[in-house]
Amino acid sequence: MRALRTVIFYILLGSSGIIWSCVSLLIAPFLAYRARYRLVVKAWTSFAVWLAKAVCGIRYEIIGRENIPTTPCIIIANHQSTWETFFLSAMFEPTSQVIKRELLKVPFFGWAFSLLKPIAIDRDNGKVALQQLTEQGGRYLKQGCWVLIFPQGTRVDVGQMGKFSRGGAALACAVGVPVLPIAHNAGEYWPNANWLKRPGTIKVVIGPVLEPNGSDPRAIVDLNARSQAFIEKALAEISTSNAQCEAIVTPPAL
Protein backbone atom coordinates (compact mmCIF):
# COMPACT_ATOMS: atom_id res chain seq x y z
CA MET A 1 0.00 0.00 0.00
CA ARG A 2 2.85 2.40 0.83
CA ALA A 3 4.47 1.61 -2.50
CA LEU A 4 1.25 2.31 -4.41
CA ARG A 5 0.69 5.59 -2.57
CA THR A 6 4.28 6.63 -3.26
CA VAL A 7 3.98 5.84 -6.97
CA ILE A 8 0.74 7.84 -7.21
CA PHE A 9 2.38 10.70 -5.34
CA TYR A 10 5.36 10.86 -7.71
CA ILE A 11 3.15 10.65 -10.81
CA LEU A 12 1.02 13.56 -9.59
CA LEU A 13 4.01 15.55 -8.39
CA GLY A 14 6.00 15.11 -11.60
CA SER A 15 3.12 15.83 -13.96
CA SER A 16 2.03 18.86 -11.96
CA GLY A 17 5.60 20.15 -11.95
CA ILE A 18 5.87 19.98 -15.74
CA ILE A 19 2.48 21.59 -16.26
CA TRP A 20 3.13 24.31 -13.70
CA SER A 21 6.56 25.08 -15.12
CA CYS A 22 5.08 25.52 -18.60
CA VAL A 23 2.34 27.79 -17.26
CA SER A 24 4.90 29.78 -15.29
CA LEU A 25 7.16 30.24 -18.31
CA LEU A 26 4.24 31.72 -20.22
CA ILE A 27 2.87 34.01 -17.49
CA ALA A 28 5.63 34.77 -14.98
CA PRO A 29 7.84 37.01 -17.19
CA PHE A 30 5.02 39.57 -17.29
CA LEU A 31 4.53 39.68 -13.50
CA ALA A 32 6.24 41.71 -10.78
CA TYR A 33 8.73 39.73 -8.72
CA ARG A 34 6.55 38.98 -5.68
CA ALA A 35 3.59 37.94 -7.84
CA ARG A 36 5.98 35.84 -9.91
CA TYR A 37 7.28 34.12 -6.78
CA ARG A 38 3.77 33.32 -5.60
CA LEU A 39 2.93 31.83 -8.99
CA VAL A 40 6.12 29.92 -9.74
CA VAL A 41 7.18 28.81 -6.26
CA LYS A 42 4.67 29.29 -3.49
CA ALA A 43 1.62 27.89 -5.29
CA TRP A 44 3.34 24.73 -6.49
CA THR A 45 5.43 24.01 -3.37
CA SER A 46 2.33 24.47 -1.21
CA PHE A 47 0.59 21.98 -3.49
CA ALA A 48 3.52 19.55 -3.13
CA VAL A 49 3.35 19.72 0.69
CA TRP A 50 -0.41 19.19 0.56
CA LEU A 51 -0.02 16.30 -1.88
CA ALA A 52 2.45 14.57 0.44
CA LYS A 53 -0.13 14.85 3.21
CA ALA A 54 -3.15 13.80 1.14
CA VAL A 55 -1.53 10.84 -0.63
CA CYS A 56 1.27 9.68 1.67
CA GLY A 57 -0.01 10.85 5.05
CA ILE A 58 2.99 13.12 5.72
CA ARG A 59 1.77 15.88 8.05
CA TYR A 60 3.78 18.52 9.90
CA GLU A 61 3.86 20.39 13.20
CA ILE A 62 5.58 23.76 13.66
CA ILE A 63 7.25 24.56 16.99
CA GLY A 64 8.56 28.07 17.64
CA ARG A 65 6.59 30.00 15.05
CA GLU A 66 6.79 33.03 17.37
CA ASN A 67 10.56 33.18 16.77
CA ILE A 68 10.14 34.24 13.14
CA PRO A 69 11.28 37.88 12.78
CA THR A 70 9.21 40.47 10.97
CA THR A 71 12.00 41.30 8.53
CA PRO A 72 13.74 38.78 6.23
CA CYS A 73 17.00 37.23 7.37
CA ILE A 74 19.13 34.15 6.63
CA ILE A 75 17.48 30.79 7.22
CA ILE A 76 19.84 27.95 8.10
CA ALA A 77 18.27 24.49 8.15
CA ASN A 78 19.39 20.89 8.14
CA HIS A 79 18.83 18.96 4.92
CA GLN A 80 17.33 15.45 4.98
CA SER A 81 14.90 15.33 2.06
CA THR A 82 13.11 17.32 -0.62
CA TRP A 83 10.15 18.03 1.66
CA GLU A 84 11.85 20.85 3.59
CA THR A 85 12.80 22.58 0.34
CA PHE A 86 9.13 22.67 -0.64
CA PHE A 87 7.92 23.60 2.84
CA LEU A 88 10.38 26.41 3.61
CA SER A 89 10.03 27.91 0.13
CA ALA A 90 6.26 28.11 0.66
CA MET A 91 6.42 29.33 4.27
CA PHE A 92 8.88 32.19 3.78
CA GLU A 93 7.95 34.57 0.98
CA PRO A 94 9.85 35.45 -1.12
CA THR A 95 12.86 33.18 -0.60
CA SER A 96 16.13 33.15 -2.48
CA GLN A 97 17.74 29.74 -2.23
CA VAL A 98 21.36 28.75 -2.69
CA ILE A 99 21.53 26.16 -5.47
CA LYS A 100 24.02 24.59 -7.83
CA ARG A 101 24.07 26.62 -11.03
CA GLU A 102 23.65 23.38 -13.02
CA LEU A 103 20.07 23.12 -11.73
CA LEU A 104 19.07 26.08 -13.89
CA LYS A 105 19.69 23.89 -16.95
CA VAL A 106 17.14 21.27 -15.89
CA PRO A 107 14.25 21.32 -18.43
CA PHE A 108 11.07 23.02 -17.25
CA PHE A 109 11.97 23.21 -13.55
CA GLY A 110 15.29 24.97 -14.03
CA TRP A 111 13.92 27.27 -16.69
CA ALA A 112 11.08 28.38 -14.42
CA PHE A 113 13.44 28.69 -11.45
CA SER A 114 15.67 31.06 -13.42
CA LEU A 115 12.80 33.58 -13.51
CA LEU A 116 13.21 34.08 -9.76
CA LYS A 117 16.24 35.14 -7.73
CA PRO A 118 18.19 31.97 -6.93
CA ILE A 119 21.76 32.25 -5.72
CA ALA A 120 23.35 29.95 -8.28
CA ILE A 121 26.89 29.14 -7.19
CA ASP A 122 29.84 27.21 -8.57
CA ARG A 123 30.35 24.53 -5.93
CA ASP A 124 33.54 23.32 -7.60
CA ASN A 125 35.26 26.56 -6.63
CA GLY A 126 34.79 27.32 -2.92
CA LYS A 127 36.30 30.80 -3.00
CA VAL A 128 34.22 31.93 -5.96
CA ALA A 129 31.10 30.32 -4.47
CA LEU A 130 31.52 32.29 -1.25
CA GLN A 131 31.94 35.52 -3.20
CA GLN A 132 28.80 34.75 -5.20
CA LEU A 133 26.87 33.97 -2.02
CA THR A 134 27.95 37.19 -0.31
CA GLU A 135 27.32 39.40 -3.31
CA GLN A 136 24.00 37.95 -4.47
CA GLY A 137 22.71 37.08 -1.01
CA GLY A 138 23.44 40.56 0.34
CA ARG A 139 21.68 42.15 -2.63
CA TYR A 140 18.57 40.00 -2.30
CA LEU A 141 18.34 40.58 1.46
CA LYS A 142 18.29 44.31 0.82
CA GLN A 143 15.47 43.73 -1.67
CA GLY A 144 13.36 42.04 1.02
CA CYS A 145 14.08 38.37 0.28
CA TRP A 146 14.72 35.63 2.79
CA VAL A 147 17.87 33.66 1.99
CA LEU A 148 17.57 29.90 2.51
CA ILE A 149 20.79 27.96 3.05
CA PHE A 150 21.34 24.27 3.75
CA PRO A 151 24.87 24.33 5.21
CA GLN A 152 25.25 20.57 4.82
CA GLY A 153 25.22 21.16 1.07
CA THR A 154 23.42 17.90 0.29
CA ARG A 155 20.80 15.66 1.86
CA VAL A 156 22.05 13.81 4.93
CA ASP A 157 20.47 10.69 6.41
CA VAL A 158 18.59 10.83 9.71
CA GLY A 159 20.94 10.54 12.67
CA GLN A 160 23.88 12.08 10.82
CA MET A 161 25.00 15.69 10.61
CA GLY A 162 27.78 15.76 8.03
CA LYS A 163 29.93 18.78 7.30
CA PHE A 164 28.34 22.09 8.31
CA SER A 165 29.72 24.75 5.96
CA ARG A 166 30.17 28.35 7.09
CA GLY A 167 28.65 30.06 4.04
CA GLY A 168 25.44 31.13 5.79
CA ALA A 169 27.30 32.41 8.84
CA ALA A 170 29.79 34.24 6.60
CA LEU A 171 26.95 35.97 4.74
CA ALA A 172 25.26 36.95 8.02
CA CYS A 173 28.47 38.42 9.41
CA ALA A 174 29.30 40.21 6.16
CA VAL A 175 25.94 41.99 5.87
CA GLY A 176 25.07 42.23 9.58
CA VAL A 177 21.87 40.18 9.34
CA PRO A 178 20.80 37.54 11.90
CA VAL A 179 20.40 33.82 11.29
CA LEU A 180 17.14 31.95 11.88
CA PRO A 181 18.03 28.29 12.64
CA ILE A 182 15.48 25.62 11.76
CA ALA A 183 15.61 21.90 12.53
CA HIS A 184 13.29 19.16 11.29
CA ASN A 185 13.06 15.39 10.92
CA ALA A 186 11.56 15.20 7.42
CA GLY A 187 13.95 12.38 6.50
CA GLU A 188 12.10 10.00 8.80
CA TYR A 189 9.04 10.13 6.55
CA TRP A 190 10.59 11.25 3.24
CA PRO A 191 13.87 9.29 3.41
CA ASN A 192 16.87 10.23 1.34
CA ALA A 193 18.02 6.69 0.59
CA ASN A 194 14.59 5.11 0.07
CA TRP A 195 11.94 6.20 -2.43
CA LEU A 196 9.07 4.90 -0.27
CA LYS A 197 7.26 7.51 1.80
CA ARG A 198 6.19 6.82 5.38
CA PRO A 199 3.12 8.41 7.00
CA GLY A 200 3.70 10.48 10.12
CA THR A 201 4.15 13.99 11.47
CA ILE A 202 7.28 15.98 10.65
CA LYS A 203 8.34 18.28 13.45
CA VAL A 204 9.73 21.65 12.35
CA VAL A 205 11.51 23.50 15.17
CA ILE A 206 12.21 27.21 14.63
CA GLY A 207 14.79 28.66 16.99
CA PRO A 208 15.34 32.22 18.16
CA VAL A 209 17.35 34.43 15.80
CA LEU A 210 21.11 34.36 16.28
CA GLU A 211 22.89 37.69 15.91
CA PRO A 212 26.43 37.87 14.48
CA ASN A 213 29.09 39.16 16.86
CA GLY A 214 31.22 40.99 14.32
CA SER A 215 32.44 40.24 10.82
CA ASP A 216 35.87 38.70 11.36
CA PRO A 217 36.67 34.98 10.93
CA ARG A 218 36.17 34.28 14.64
CA ALA A 219 32.67 35.77 14.48
CA ILE A 220 31.86 33.54 11.50
CA VAL A 221 33.07 30.42 13.33
CA ASP A 222 31.11 31.41 16.43
CA LEU A 223 27.84 32.04 14.58
CA ASN A 224 28.17 28.85 12.58
CA ALA A 225 28.84 26.86 15.76
CA ARG A 226 25.78 28.36 17.48
CA SER A 227 23.59 27.55 14.47
CA GLN A 228 24.82 23.97 14.33
CA ALA A 229 24.47 23.54 18.09
CA PHE A 230 20.82 24.61 18.01
CA ILE A 231 19.98 22.27 15.13
CA GLU A 232 21.79 19.31 16.73
CA LYS A 233 20.04 19.90 20.07
CA ALA A 234 16.62 20.27 18.44
CA LEU A 235 17.11 17.08 16.41
CA ALA A 236 18.11 15.20 19.55
CA GLU A 237 14.97 16.43 21.33
CA ILE A 238 12.78 15.43 18.36
CA SER A 239 14.35 11.98 18.34
CA THR A 240 13.83 11.55 22.09
CA SER A 241 10.22 12.72 21.86
CA ASN A 242 9.46 10.33 19.01
CA ALA A 243 11.07 7.42 20.86
CA GLN A 244 8.94 8.14 23.93
CA CYS A 245 5.77 8.30 21.81
CA GLU A 246 6.60 4.99 20.13
CA ALA A 247 7.22 3.41 23.54
CA ILE A 248 3.78 4.55 24.68
CA VAL A 249 1.83 3.31 21.65
CA THR A 250 3.79 0.06 21.16
CA PRO A 251 2.40 -2.75 23.32
CA PRO A 252 4.94 -4.79 25.26
CA ALA A 253 5.98 -8.14 23.79
CA LEU A 254 4.29 -11.13 25.36
- Give the pLDDT band (50/70/90) at residue 203: very high
Q: What is the pLDDT of residue 109?
A: 67
Task: Please count the other Cβ atoms lying within 10 Å of the Cβ belonging to residue 238.
Answer: 20
Per-residue pLDDT tens digits for 116-148: 788 877 766 667 778 888 888 999 999 999 999
Query: Is pLDDT above 80 for 242?
Result: no
Q: What percent of the chain has pLDDT over 90?
A: 62
Query: Is pLDDT above 70 for 249?
Result: no
Predicted TM-score of the model (pTM): 0.90
Per-residue pLDDT tens digits for 162-179: 889 999 999 999 999 999
Domains and CATH numbers, the chain: 2-249 (3.40.1130)
